[in-house]
Amino acid sequence: MQAIQAYRYALDPTPAQARALAAHCGAARFAFNWGLALIKANLGQRAAERSYGISGDELTPSLSCSMYALRKAWNQAKDDVAPWWPECSKEAYACGLERLAAALKNWADSRTGGRKGRVMGFPSFRSRRKTSPSVRFTTGTIRLDGRTHVVLPRLGRIKTHESTRKLARRIEAGTARIASATVRWEAGRWQVAFSVHVERPVRVPRRADAVVGVDLGVRTLAVFSDDRPPVANPKYLAGASKRLRRAARAVSRKIGPDRRTGQQPSGRWLRANAVRNRAQHRVAALRRDALHQLTTGLAREYGAIVIEDLHVAGMLRNRRLAKAISDAGFGEIRRQLGYKTVWNGGRLIVADRWYPSSKTCSACGTVKTKLPLSARTFTCPACGLAIDRDRNAARNLASLVRHVAGSGPETVNGHGADQKTPPRGAGGCETSTPHWATGQDGDLHPAMGESLRLTDIQ
């Protein structure tokens, strides 16, 4: 199986290398802002000319927003706008312009209806203080040097904080090839993520003919349709709330930066802010590790996994439950199951968003008109079944699929229809090393395999 996945490693650069990394990230941000200013100036000029009654061919020619046009314009103007450009790799400027072209395309597609999701606004200038520094390399020398160093263009040999043997063994065996590398300042240190083309072995789940329904919730993170014990919600954010509040108060009492007056942060503010950031990063790391253990275990065990199509964005509008829902990570669970089921030869089936899994009796199929959240036990008025509402919902989800072939490539639903899993790439994160895939904006993002909806197999 061919897949694109990423291997991310923390770096231990020298002070000189850290300054070079920051310079490359700043160069990418500068190129992005320069190209955006050029596009906005051209649009403003054409709008002003139209207000004067000028139209047609008499207007100032419009600028192309493609990556190639922006890069050509940059090469013509770089000696004037950035005479220091030879200090950084050309890949840094290409990275910024590529991200700008992707942002402009997303904005245009969103306006014309060619892009799903929320409406995208026009790109804005990237601030040094609010933007996470990152830069992507696609050409040049990108390789591993032994088990403790990596080599990047213009940056040279940089020591890693952890061993790279997992990726090195794949490269030595000829089953992996590095395509690009993205360096980012994240979680208080520099990190590099390699986008790798990997040949993954074909796997079969331990119970290839088994189907499990998974009901996600806030009180209990996951309840299953079989005898598998429920997974409690660890609530890492709630558990660390006291520590986070104390760290935030300590930061607020120090002299911090002020852009209006030019005030620079004090040393105590910097140390207190680092403590707060470490506490937040620890919560994210604990949550990520717990979700990976849950999804990996499910993908390796069952041939078919059925979950609900939860409208997480709508659920977050409830201000009383938004914090708990965000801490649970419903969307991340679905994203991870999307590619891990493909990697392990299984299948992810997503039930319709309006399917009444909690209101339907798993024994006789009677649907109740109302079932408040406070009612934790489902009692059927027809057959008298009394069962935990989450367990009842999980059984209803599992009943949507009647049979799974032993090899796992096909699923037969309750209507007897067959549907093969559509071919797609896979990418994502494993428990120890998060894996990422290249997004439309040129960055490395957590990859997600397309999940199969129940409506697609009916």
Q: How far apart are CA 215 and CA 306, in angstroms?
A: 9
Q: Which of 457, 190, 192 is nearest to 350 (CA)?
A: 457
Q: What percent of the chain has pLDDT over 70?
A: 88
At 205-248, the pLDDT tens digits run 999 999 999 999 998 999 999 989 999 999 999 999 999 999 99
The CA-atom distances, in angstroms, between 316 and each of 264, 284, 294, 400 are: 36, 18, 23, 27
CA-CA-CA-CA dihedral for 135, 136, 140, 142, to nearest 10? 100
What is the pLDDT confidence band of residue 262, given thresholds at 50, 70 and 90? confident
- How large is the C-alpha radius of gyration of the chain? 26
Contact 167, 194 (CB under 8 A): yes
Calculate mean pLDDT across residues 268-295. Answer: 94
Q: Tell me what the pLDDT averaged over the chain comes to.
A: 86
The pLDDT assigned to 37 comes to 96
Q: How far apart are CA 282 and CA 237, in angstroms?
A: 10
Edge-first strand listing for the sheet containing 176-186: 2-10, 189-199, 176-186, 134-137
Q: How far apart are CA 105 and CA 39, in angstroms?
A: 13
The pLDDT assigned to 381 comes to 87
The pLDDT assigned to 129 comes to 82
Is pLDDT at 66 greater than 80 in this prediction?
yes
At 188-209, the pLDDT tens digits run 899 999 999 999 888 999 999 9
Environment class of 381 (CB within 10 Å of its CB; exposed 0-12, middle 13-18, buried 19+): exposed
Least confident of 311-315, 398-402, 438-442: 438-442
The pLDDT assigned to 149 comes to 96
What is the pLDDT confidence band of residue 441, given thresholds at 50, 70 and 90? very low
Q: Which of 31, 149, 187, 155 is nearest to 89 (CA)?
A: 155
The pLDDT assigned to 402 comes to 62
Q: How far apart are CA 327 and CA 219, in angstroms?
A: 12
| DSSP state for residue 63 in the 8-state scheme | P
Enumerate the active-site residues. 215, 308, 390
Q: What percent of the chain has pLDDT over 90?
A: 63
Q: How far apart are CA 444 and CA 177, in angstroms?
A: 16
The pLDDT assigned to 353 comes to 87
At 91-127, the pLDDT tens digits run 999 999 999 999 999 999 998 888 888 888 999 999 9
Is pLDDT at 449 greater than 50 in this prediction?
no
Least confident of 122-136, 223-237, 267-281, 391-405: 391-405
Residue appearing with tokens 């789940």: 205
Say how many C-beta atoms besides its own lie within 10 A of residue 65's C-beta.
18
Is pLDDT at 414 greater than 70 in this prediction?
no
What is the pLDDT confidence band of residue 406, given thresholds at 50, 70 and 90? very low
Calculate mean pLDDT across residues 121-147. Answer: 92
Is pLDDT at 435 greater than 80 in this prediction?
no
What is the pLDDT confidence band of residue 339, given thresholds at 50, 70 and 90? very high
Is pLDDT at 176 greater than 80 in this prediction?
yes
Calculate mean pLDDT across residues 263-288. Answer: 93
The pLDDT assigned to 105 comes to 94
Contact 326, 317 (CB under 8 A): no
